[in-house]
Structure 1
Amino acid sequence: MRRFEWRDRIHSLDAEADCERIVQILGTHEFPWDIEQALGLALYRTYAVPSIGELLGHTLEFTERTQHRYDDTALILNDILEHGFGPGRGRDALRRMNQMHRSYDISNDDYRYVLSTFVVMPVRWLNDYGYGWRELSDHEIAASTNYYRKLGQHMGIKDIPETYEEFRELMDSYEAEHFAYSEGGRAVSDATLELMVGFYPAWQRPLVRPFTQGLLDDPLIKAFKYPEPSAFWRKSGDAALKLRAKVVRRMKPREEPRWARMSPNIRSYPDGYAPDRIGTFPQGCPVPHDLRTRGVPGTGARVPAPGQAVAPGSVGTGPAGTESAGTEPSEN
């Protein structure tokens, strides 16, 4: 398989009609690791909006059951991407996400902002920051934008931007207006960073935290009231990721897809899962909660049994009152 064969296949597809397939190729063949990091950073940014960070902190799910929330986010979004918006496992995941959304009073403006981070941050990571082994084309950016517009419609979000440029303007203006310190946002940020550090071997952990914080931009650092990263960590993180991009460019293309569900960092459901039975049930849902889980000390989940073998964030941030997945999309 030629190095740019997937790119060529993408450009033979329609950016609107085939947006789901294009995003699948980008996320599982071309840039699986990069897009995972970018979407994790996208959700992490939302903690710096007090109305979002305080809500997530208040639930305690993101500070006491951080591993579970990481896993549920990745798995639900994976099932939607892998199986699509139609009947089946993808629609079950959509319905589960919308059920969680209805449990909280969240503004449509916050929903639009969260959606904008999903559209914008992969482009920033790959193109603007230069961390991709190649840049996304305008055709690919349009397809990704169309995919997330479709997701937003299924979530019942109103007034969804139509173009990438509109999403970018929305994200930047919303952050400029709303980024601020909140105790809840800081608590969720701390818990998320702790979880991410725990993904690495013990000897690497003292380096992972400053490396990660060195990748955070100044508005995020100020919103969480973290110490300003040193110039060394700023330059080291940037240089390391750009070096990785050069190495990946010379690697063979990935022929088999790498779905998020395959990540060794996802640890909560060793016996498998059903998308309609994971996530939070804050209103006493009658669904039986008998899935055997294992957790990581410090996350609030149960500790692993002996011999058993983690794009931080929240699944549940959609408008209260959203209809379950499978209904007709809302007009925007």
Structure 2
Amino acid sequence: MKRFDWRDEIHRLDAETDCVRIMQILNSHEFPWDMGRALGIALYRTYAVPSIGELLGRTDQFTGQTQKRYDDTALILGNMIRHGFEPGKGRDALRRMNQMHRSYDISNDDYRYVLSTFVIMPVRWLNDYGYGWRKLSDHEISAITNYYRKLGKYMGIKDVPETYEGFRELLDGYEAEHFAYTEGGRRVSDSTLDLMVTFYPPRVSGLARKFSMAILDESLIKTFRYDPPSKAWRRSADIALKLRAKVVRRMKPREEPLWADMNPNIRSYPDGYDVNGIGTFPATCPVQHNVDPVAHEELYGEEGDRPAENGENAGTSSEGSGKPTADTASDGRA
């Protein structure tokens, strides 16, 4: 297999009808590490929006259970990319995400903003910052945009932008208007940075934190009231990531896919997991778990997201331990 074979396959696919397949190739073959970093920064940016940062701070999921929340987020989003939105694990992950979100009073504007970070940050990381071993093409950017437009539709988000440029304007405008310091947002930010440091050997933890801070843009540093990274650290981090890109460009293409649940930094489910049992299950959750929270008959059919079974579905109690079921405990399925 040659270095650009995956890119060539992508360009034989349609950017709209084949957007799921293109996302699978980009995330599991072409840029698995980069897409993970870009997604992490995308989610991190949302903490700087007071309505989001304060909500996450109150729920204690990003401060008291940071590792599990990180794992759950990666696994849910990863399952949707890996399996798409058809019946099966991808749709189960979508249902689980919708159930969690509808447990809280989240505005449509905040949903739109978070969705925009998923669209924009991979392109900025790979293309604008120059950290990818190659740049994304316009065709690939269109596919990413179409994938998240589809996801936005299935989440019930209204007024989703139609183009990449529309998402970019939304993100930049929303951040300019809403970024502000809050105690909750800062706590979530600190907890997330603390978790990131644990992904490296203890002997380099101090350097890892400095590196993590050095790749945050000025708007985030200012909003969270961190001491600005030195110019030397900014430059060093930039050079290191661009050197990595040059090395990766000369490597053989990844023939076997690397999915989210293969990431060694995901530690909460060493014996496997059931996607229907991960995430949060608030005791006051207003969602009726055997129906589609956003009523998409196109996706789920007239009976909702899951026809009523004998009572509530297993694993959806208010305590929601997220423990793997017997049939998934050993196979590591995603």
Distance across 2 between alignment mates of 1:106 and 1:46? 13
Q: CA deviation at 1:271?
A: 1.2
Q: CA deviation at 1:168?
A: 0.4
More relative contact order in 1 or in 2 (CA 8 Å, sep 6+)? 1
Counterpart of 1:262? 262
Residue 322 of structure 1, aligned match among 294, 304, 308: 294
TM-score, scaled relative to structure 2: 0.86
Tell me the amino acid that sits aligned with residue 121 of structure 2.
Answer: M
Local SS of the residue matching 2:300? coil
1:153-302 equivalent positions in 2, closer than 5 A: 153-283=153-283
Identify the range of structure 1 (75-84 vs 133-142) with the bigger mean alpha-carbon deviation.
75-84
Q: CA deviation at 1:270?
A: 1.1
Q: CA deviation at 1:283?
A: 2.6
Distance across 2 between alignment mates of 1:173 and 1:154? 24
Q: Do structure 1's residue 77 and structure 2's residue 49 form an aligned pair?
A: no
Local SS of the residue matching 2:73? helix
Tell me the amino acid that sits aligned with residue 109 of structure 1.
Answer: D
Q: CA deviation at 1:10?
A: 0.4
CA-to-partner distance for each residue in 1:239-274, whole Å, 9 max, x for gaps?
000000000000000000000110000010111111
Spell out structure 1 runs of 4+ moving beyond 6 A. Answer: none
Q: Do structure 1's residue 93 and structure 2's residue 93 form an aligned pair?
A: yes
Q: CA deviation at 1:324?
A: 7.6
Local SS of the residue matching 1:160? coil
Distance across 1 between alignment mates of 2:203 and 2:22? 39
Distance across 2 between alignment mates of 1:162 and 1:60? 34
TM-score, scaled relative to structure 1: 0.87
Counterpart of 1:139? 139
The answer for unaligned runs of 5 or more in structure 2 is: 286-291, 302-334
State the number of aligned residues: 295
Distance across 2 between alignment mates of 1:127 and 1:55? 32
Structure 1 vs Structure 2 CA RMSD: 1.5
Tell me the amino acid that sits aligned with residue 102 of structure 1.
Answer: R
CA-to-partner distance for each residue in 1:205-264, whole Å, 9 max, x for gaps?
010011110111110001100001100110000000000000000000000000011000
Distance across 1 between alignment mates of 2:153 and 2:300? 10
8 A Cα contact 1:49 1:178, kept in partner: yes
Local SS of the residue matching 1:226? coil
Q: CA deviation at 1:142?
A: 0.2
Q: CA deviation at 1:327?
A: 3.3
Counterpart of 1:20? 20
Tell me the amino acid that sits aligned with residue 181 of structure 2.
Answer: Y
Counterpart of 1:302? none
Local SS of the residue matching 1:117? helix
Counterpart of 1:6? 6
Counterpart of 2:152? 152
Distance across 2 between alignment mates of 1:179 and 1:324? 32
Counterpart of 2:56? 56
Tell me the amino acid that sits aligned with residue 51 of structure 2.
Answer: S
Distance across 1 between alignment mates of 2:22 and 2:138? 13
Counterpart of 1:308? none
Local SS of the residue matching 1:64? coil
Local SS of the residue matching 1:62? coil
The answer for unaligned runs of 5 or more in structure 1 is: 286-319
